[in-house]
Chain A
Amino acid sequence: MMKDLAFTINGNAVMVRIDPHTLLLDVLRETLDLTGTKRGCGEGECGACTVVVDGEAVNSCIYPAWKVEGCNVLTVEGLGSREEVHPLQESFLEKGAVQCGFCTPGMLMSAYALLQKTREPDEKVIKKALAGNLCRCTGYKKIIEAVKDAAGKQNKL
């Protein structure tokens, strides 16, 4: 039976009518039309679907939607927009950390969650925080550089 789920998405309170078994990724992409969050593997292995729930990075593809009842969910759409690019996104662009872009929303959300918790992460810490996000294009080096760059401008994040 469908029921109403209330939570906050990118700062806005929403109510969606969903099934008991609906997963968070489907609510985002299908119900809310927030297609910035990507579906890669669908089983927790690639990180393309990463979103931030109450400050923690999670894989939305294996996350039951009902778990976010009353929670704050942040997706890439809430981070920045074409007009207002978030400093972290700016670093990704400037450092050439985006190629095909499929992994980028997930990478950004993992990096964002990290920077919210750790002011000055070193390379080891960055790698550990992004290890759940696979990228088939960049070879990761530029992504790590971008996160370091963003950490350097923390006061703006």
Chain B
Amino acid sequence: MFHKYYRPKHLAEALAVLSEYEGRARVMAGGTDLIVQLNKGDISFEAAVDITNIKELRYIIEEDGIKIGALTTHTDLAQSSLLRQKAPSLADAAGEVGSLQIRNVGTVGGNIVNAQPAADAAIPLMALDAVATIVSASGARQVALEMLYHPGGGTILDPCSEILTEITFRPPSDMGGGSAFGRLSKRKALSLPVFNAAVVLLPAADDKNIMDARIVMGPVARIPFRAREAENLLRGNAFNEDLFHDAADTASREAKPRDSLFRGSSAYRKKLAQVIVYRSLIKAWKDMGC
């Protein structure tokens, strides 16, 4: 529960309110996570600082890479023709979130800061090697998405004093590469992922070999998890299906999903990891042609 509601129109105002409350006010974007957590009594704070009136934080533009404002909704991401063309993994992932009502309100910033290990937008963004801009009363800093997470869960961002304003990445297509996202859930809508994965493949100058690969999976650890051994296996080798099979096997071995009554046994989800990572690699390879 909170006793004050602020709707600043500008970033500076929002930061001033946060400073004034010295940790007792909290940033709220769409509220799709926050309100549910408040209703359950999981969290409480004195004042809500609703940042959705800061209109300049909602955009998807191409300018020295792709830049996405933190208040961009999942609907915006899913419908962006720029993302469809240059980073389909992110557009596809956003289109899978909850339901249309949730996608219309939930934001990319909230998805990252809420730090669920299988957050559907954060998973592809981490594979895209995205960088987050974080602003506080004392200035701005840029942090690679990967470094934003605590290994034990959660992020290093303090939503009571800091605001995530922008996410940027260089689209794989600019380097001749491709991206893909794969997901399995119990139902097609309103169902959190049993497993999800995002992949980025970048070709070497000869176009035959893999220069770089990034594979991110969830929920198989406390935070979105990078399959580094599988990535290493891919790097420097020629694109081919057998190699993708080996990489998917390796990713599956690296994944440490827990047994879960909701999401299925660890053994089942390791098998899923193998299948979904393989399919995503194939899809990303095909995306390179576009």
Contacts and interface: CB of A to CB of B under 8 A. Distances in A.
A21 interface: yes
B202 to A, nearest CB: 32
Nearest to A1: B3
B100 A23 contact: no
Interface string B4-47: 11010000000000000000000010011001101100000001
Contacts of B35: 23, 62-64
Q: How many B residues are at the interface, by size bracket?
A: 20 to 34
B271 to A, nearest CB: 27
B232 interface: no
B142 interface: no
B50 A63 contact: no
Interface residues of A, number: 27
Interface string A38-79: 000011110100100000111100111011010000000000
Interface string A133-152: 11000000000000000000
A131 B188 CA distance: 8
A42 B39 contact: yes
A82 interface: no
Interface stretch (B58-66, B101-109, B160-168, B251-259): B101-109
B82 to A, nearest CB: 20
- Dominant SS at the B interface? mixed
B140 interface: no
B1 A44 contact: no
Contacts of B48: 20-21, 64
A105 interface: no
A47 B101 contact: yes
B36 A43 contact: yes
B136 interface: no
Contacts of A43: 36, 39
B85 interface: no
B5 to A, nearest CB: 4
Contacts of B32: 44, 62
B206 to A, nearest CB: 40
Contacts of B100: 57, 110, 128-129, 131-132
Of the listed residues A21, A45, A64, A128, the one surrounded by the most CB atoms of chain B closer than 10 A to its CB is A64
B101 A50 contact: yes
Given A44-B36, A110-B100, A21 B1 contact: yes
A20 B38 CA distance: 13
Nearest to A131: B189
Contact of A45 (B28, B38, B50, B190): B190
Nearest to A69: B7
9 contacts: A1-B3, A21-B2, A44-B98, A45-B190, A47-B101, A63-B105, A66-B7, A131-B100, A132-B99
Given A20-B48, A44-B98, A63-B105, 8 more contacts: A21-B3, A44-B36, A58-B101, A64-B50, A110-B100, A129-B100, A131-B99, A132-B98
Interface of A: 1, 20-21, 23, 42-45, 47, 50, 56-59, 62-64, 66-67, 69, 110, 128-129, 131-134
Q: Which 9 pairs between the two chains have the least Cβ-Cβ distance? A: A132-B99, A131-B189, A20-B5, A62-B35, A56-B104, A132-B101, A59-B101, A66-B5, A57-B101
